[in-house]
Amino acid sequence: MALTKNKKVLDFVEAGAELAQPDEIVWITGDLGQLDELRKEAVKSGELIKLNQSILPDCYLHRTKVNDVARVEDRTFICTKSREDAGPVNYWMDPKQAYELASEIARGSMKGRKMYVIPYSMGVVGSPFARYGIEVTDSIYVVLNMAIMTRVGANVLKAIGPDGDFIKGFHAKCNVDAENRYIMHFPEDNTIISVNSAYGGNVLLGKKCFALRIASYLGKNEGWMAEHMLILGVTFPDGTKKYVAAAFPSACGKTNLAMLVPPKHYREKGYKIECVGDDIAWIRVGADGRLWAVNPENGFFGVAPGTNDHSNPNALAATKRGTIFTNVALDTDNMTVWWEGLNDDLPEHCIDWTGKPWDRTKFNKKDKSTCAAHPNSRFTAPAKNCPCISPEFDSKEGVPLSAIIFGGRRATTTPLVYQSRDWNHGVFVGSAMSSETTAAATGATGVLRHDPMAMKPFAGYHMGDYFQHWIDMGKAIKNPPKIFNVNWFRQDEDGNFIWPGFGDNMRVLEWILKRCDDAVDAEETAIGYVPRPQDIDLDELDYEIAPGHKFTQDDLKAILAVDKKRWAAEAEELESYYKNTIKTRIPAELTECLEKLKENCKN
Ligand code: GTP
Ligand code: SPV
Ligand code: MN
């Protein structure tokens, strides 16, 4: 039975049903009993595998088709009337053609299936930040994931009201045919259509599709920002708190930084990190002239491989109940999960992510085809499970930002940390980001590409206009956060990470926060302010870059150094990206910064 009298909602659901022709329409109420029934149904059909309920209560495993394991950037479209408005780094399709194509693919695709109607909120229901959506889908996996990742149910319909608007999302898994997979966005119609996939980022339409692509477009028009950023809170020994947002590309460390456990001597002094969000931030200018951020999500869709008790104990703890695992390995001795980097106890009896028996004697870390879990295997865990979740997680106003951090995966060139000179230079630093590609999207990994503000795959409009929006926002912020860039991923000649990373990133965070208070000096270099090596706390640091090679202050010096030759080449490359890719819509403020960088790198 329909849960609302809102005609726009009813018309949208009816149109979806008319097209896809499901046997039945089921409204998701948010009722726990209803979700329980759906879990049972999914276990019966094999869509979910029930895990050991005494070790992992309410946890399930799901395996996708092998052709459907990551976001598909080349099948993700921004469908604006004018091609120019989608800009140079998005794939574009004419909206009329896109609607026709999607209709053709989805027509009759839910025959013999049920269509679920999910009313969901991005943000706390009733908060000034909150935006509402309705996703219709034929996948129970999508329903159960959305129920973790967003706030779902009848109260959302109430908040939309009898005449309110919402973001329309239509998902049909069809035959999960990679050749007919399309993730289409219609920012001018507040509409998203996704067909022939059942993988997270392509089908949990509240996440990347709505909260970044559609929301970035709304933000540009309404004067706010939707960013691919974690939000964390730092508590200082004197009890004060500061908040930081950080944009890193997919699988480049947001979840890990958001839940960081500081080294022992920091904890003993009274430092604490709390997580507000691990992937998306919606940001507005507050009445006090500062930037205020909320996390519009309600759960974590986190990368499993590499997550362990040392790297991210908080994320691991969050996955111990009420979690859906996707494409990890199944330890059949005790019906628990395993992935590369969880521990050294390779399970003896194990089913790999493709559903085949796994032979641990053939395992070779460097060869992906021998891995038990897919490199982009994920956990969907409720945010409330996280031991370090911030008390501000549910705040309707959000948290004020002291710093914004950009960062990428760069084996060379980019130092461990540097600070921009001011807001506009910070925007330039974000626009100049490049990062090595990861398994979070299909295609080759480890390829260096431009990924401005970690938004290359997520800005729902022209990248040049997006840069301009950042510049314009700067004019509206009386008390802007300071902007930094970090790189945890510098490598030695043998490919070892030089910086210890993870909890030890606290040492860099501390310097960043001191800079926000003007409490520490820095060296001015060609690219911005870099720490003096003695200002990064290396106390009790015990890290081996390679067997027999302990990390010392010389290694720190090496990863703080600014190599002008490399940066001259970097600037030249960036110039070509601006000129040949972004072309006409580059703000003058950014070309000025580029000219200054080129000048600074001479001789
Ligand atoms: P998305 O969910 O795709 O947006 O990824 P994310 O940015 O949240 O990345 P996440 O924190 O899940 O980390 C991705 C991978 O990078 C994992 O395998 C981590 O173990 C690894 N990683 C994270 N932080 C660090 C770090 O400081 N140093 C090193 N060497 N690896 C890290
Ligand atoms: C990312 O790829 O940045 C993710 C995972 O956070 S997905 O939801 O698939 O986009
Ligand atoms: Mn992400």
DSSP annotation string for 66-124: TT-SSB-GGGEEE--SSHHHH-TTSEE--HHHHHHHHHHHHTTTTTTSEEEEEEEEESS
Provide the edge-to-edge strand list for the sheet that holds 324-326.
49-50, 60-62, 324-326, 378-382, 299-303
Question: What pLDDT does residue 47 have?
Answer: 98
Question: Cβ contacts of residue 194 below 8 Å, gap of 6+?
Answer: 169, 170, 171, 172, 182, 183, 184, 202, 203, 205, 209
Please give the positions annotated as active site.
252
Whose CA is closest to atom 5 on ligand 2? Answer: 201
Question: What pLDDT does residue 437 have?
Answer: 96
- How many C-beta atoms surround the C-beta of residue 315 within 10 A? 27
Best mutation site among 204, 208, 326 for ligand 2, i.e. most ligand atoms within 8 A of its Cβ? Answer: 208
Q: Which residues lie with the beta carbon below 6 Å from any ligand 1 atom?
A: 248, 250-256, 278-279, 302-303, 305-306, 311, 440, 488-489, 497, 501-502, 505
Q: Is 255 helix (H, G, I), strand (E, B) or coil?
A: helix
CA of residue 117 to ligand 2 center, whole Å: 23
Question: What pLDDT does residue 2 have?
Answer: 80
Of the options 2.170.8.10, 3.40.50.2300, 3.50.50.100, 3.40.50.300, the CATH number for the domain spanning 300-385: 2.170.8.10
- How many C-beta atoms surround the C-beta of residue 25 within 10 A? 17
Please list the rounded mean pLDDT of every run of 10 residues in the chain (603 residues).
Answer: 91 98 98 98 98 98 98 98 97 98 98 98 95 98 98 97 98 98 98 98 98 98 98 98 98 98 98 98 97 98 97 98 98 98 97 97 90 98 98 97 98 98 98 96 96 98 98 97 98 97 98 98 98 98 97 98 98 98 95 98 88
Classified by CATH at the fold level, domain 227-299+391-600 comes out as Phosphoenolpyruvate Carboxykinase; domain 3 (3.90.228)
Q: Is the CB of 301 under 6 A from ligand 2?
A: yes
CA of residue 3 to ligand 3 center, whole Å: 32
Give the H or E element holding residue 407.
strand 399-407
Best mutation site among 254, 301, 303 for ligand 1, i.e. most ligand atoms within 8 A of its Cβ? Answer: 303
DSSP 139: -
Q: Under CATH, which architecture does the 7-47+72-223 domain have? A: 3-Layer(aba) Sandwich (3.40)
Nearest ligand to the CA of 145 is: 2
CA of residue 251 to ligand 3 center, whole Å: 7
Give the H or E element holding residue 43.
helix 32-45
CA of residue 251 to ligand 1 center, whole Å: 5
Question: What pLDDT does residue 414 have?
Answer: 98
Best mutation site among 205, 207, 326 for ligand 2, i.e. most ligand atoms within 8 A of its Cβ? Answer: 207
| CATH 2.170.8.10 residue ranges for the chain | 300-385
Question: What pLDDT does residue 315 have?
Answer: 98
Residue with tokens 């310097």: 511
| CATH 3.90.228.20 residue ranges for the chain | 227-299+391-600
Distance CA 414, CA 562 (A): 8
Question: What pLDDT does residue 387 have?
Answer: 98
Measured on CA atoms in the order 497, 502, 505, 509, is the torsion positive or negative?
positive
Task: Enter the tokens of residue 427.
Answer: 């925007």
Whose CA is closest to atom 15 on ligand 1? Answer: 251
Residue with tokens 């921009």: 420
In DSSP terms, which residues pair with 419 in a beta bridge? 484, 529
CA of residue 146 to ligand 2 center, whole Å: 14
Do residues 505 and 260 make contact, with C-beta atoms less than 8 angstroms apart? Answer: yes
Do residues 132 and 164 make contact, with C-beta atoms less than 8 angstroms apart? Answer: yes
Nearest ligand to the CA of 149 is: 2
> Where on the phi/psi map is residue 123: left (φ > 0), alpha (ψ -120 to 50), or beta?
left
Question: What pLDDT does residue 603 have?
Answer: 72
Provide the pairing of β-strand 60-62 with 324-326.
parallel
The packing angle between helices 423-431 and 463-476, to 10°, is 160
Question: What pLDDT does residue 274 have?
Answer: 98
- How many C-beta atoms surround the C-beta of residue 43 within 10 A? 14
| CATH 3.40.449.10 residue ranges for the chain | 7-47+72-223
